[in-house]
Amino acid sequence: MAVVGVSWLTASFLPATRSLHQAVLVVSLVAFPAGRVRGLSRWLLVGLAVPVGFGLLPQIGVAAVFVLVALLVLIKGRDTATGYPTVAAIGVAAVLGASWSVSRLRAEAFDPSLALVGYELVLLAVAVAFPVAAQAVIRSWARLADRLLADERLAGLEGFAVVLGRAVSDPSVQVFRWHDANAGYVDERGRSVPTGGDDRRWLTVVDADGPVAVVAHQSPALDDPVTAEAVAAAVRLAVRHERLQHEQQQQLAELEASRARIVVAADRERERAAIQLRENVGMSLELAQAELSAVRNAAGNTAAVGSLDIVVSELATAQTEIVELVAGVPPARLGSGRLQEALQALARRSPVPVSVTVATDAASDQDIEAAFFYLCSEALANAVKYADATRIDITVRRVNGAMEAVISDDGRGGADPTGSGLQGLADRLATLNGRLRVESPPGAGTTVTAVVPD
């Protein structure tokens, strides 16, 4: 804007340059606020400034050029940068058009001196407002990084680009991260992105280690160095955040896989131990009990018979405990709908009446059916031992493509969902991307619900 003033003063001793300040003003408004001209339409207006500067256009033609400047800024401009140049161009066009109209329509009432004073006042207002408006726009853009990082809609570089586009009123904004293996920029799906080749502008973001990302845009806001650096800082943080999230997701996936392997290994070891107890210890106890019973029946000594009765009773108790222990371990072959038979076997051994309902389409793989078996076994044991339940209902069904198991009782309620047993079941379900919900209001029974995607 200082150049406009110098051009205006130059006309005082070089009359041939009396229109030069108007050409400079056209370029200043088109390039506001960063001082750069981008885009074909803006360059066309800069081209129109040439005949304006040489005084080749009549006054009404100059006014028309300023009207075109205002229209261009309104159509092509972005965010807060549109206000000042639009008002300034309309003001100059209005005073030029008004003085021209009065001089043509009412020549007798036209006062050239008054028209000149009005024109100079408009130029003065435009000159004074220019630095104020430019600083206001630049400050607004400088706060861009804080606004971007504080936006809760930020999710990955695609989400970052959406928020950035809204901040600078440019929906075409895209952000592509640098990929070392490709030695170039890639999109969210890992596809290579060639830079250049279209009318977009490219803001390259780097750090001490090299390229970080590139921002494709059409906004003049990023022509300002302060704004560009603010956006670059926000992009660096967004890329770093995305990398950390990716690393955390990888670690979480590895942890889940490790936990799943531990669960499977524990299940296999538990099944092996159950088979050994059932086939070796259990059978040995059964044979010992049968032999002692035969000896007892053949013994004639009353004292010996009493002692043998005690031993036989202890063997029977041990055998019952082994049966109960093995009952909590699922059969070696679950899956393909065998869960129903295993649950019915659990129900038959329960001292409390248990209703088992398994939908015909509720068949799944071994891991899911084993998880549901352990869940039902734990819930049954809790209901019998702690809840004083008189009835237990088990329902297994398929809901919206997922397997669901619901175990409810009419006990005293008040179960602790954070207890070791239920927490262990929740961890088991988590390895299958499932979830566990426990509802146990005091005095109203307990309902345990497990849902696992299948």
Q: What is the domain partition of the chain in residue ranges?
A: 2-142, 145-239, 254-327, 339-453
> CA-based angle 218:220:224, to the nearest 5?
130
- The matching CATH number, chosen from 3.40.228.10, 3.30.2130.10, 3.40.50.360, 3.30.565.10, for 339-453 is 3.30.565.10
Residue 397 pairs in a beta bridge with 404
How does pLDDT run across 184-203, given as a tens digit for each residue? Answer: 888 777 788 887 767 778 88
At residue 152, the pLDDT reads: 47
Rounded to whole angstroms, the Cα distance separating 30 from 25 reads 9
What's the pLDDT score for residue 317?
65
Question: Is residue 393 pLDDT above 90, yes or no?
Answer: yes
- The DSSP H or E segment spanning 210 is strand 210-217
**Per mean pLDDT, which of 101-115, 360-374, 409-423 is the most reliable?**
360-374
What letter does residue 278 receive in the DSSP assignment?
I
Residue type, 307: S
* Cα 173 to Cα 162: distance, rounded to the nearest angstrom: 7
Q: Which residues pair with 438 in a beta bridge?
A: 448
Radius of gyration of the chain (CA): 42
Given a contact cutoff of 8 angstroms between Cβ atoms, the answer to whether 154 and 166 are in contact is no
The residue written with tokens 């549109």 in the block is: 82
**C-alpha atoms less than 13 angstroms from C-alpha of 291 in its C-beta half-sphere:** 6
Cα→Cα distances 92→31, 121, 122, 231, Å: 17, 10, 7, 34
More confident residue, 386 or 289: 386
392 and 407 in contact (C-beta within 8 Å)? yes
47 φψ region: left (φ > 0), alpha (ψ -120 to 50), beta (else): alpha
Rounded to the nearest integer, the mean pLDDT of the chain is 76
**End-to-end CA distance of the chain, in Å?**
69
Query: Taking 70 as the threshold, does the pLDDT of residue 95 lie above it?
Result: yes
Query: What DSSP character marks residue 277?
Result: I
Beta pairing, strands 184-186 & 392-399: unpaired
Residue 346 pLDDT greater than 80, yes or no: yes
Mean pLDDT calculated for residue range 2-23: 63
Give Cβ neighbours of residue 194 (< 8 Å, ≥ 6 apart): 184
pLDDT over 80 at 336, yes or no: no
Q: Which pTM was predicted? A: 0.42
Residue 405 in tokens: 């198991």
Residue 392: per-residue pLDDT: 92
Percentage of the chain lying above the pLDDT 90 cut? 4
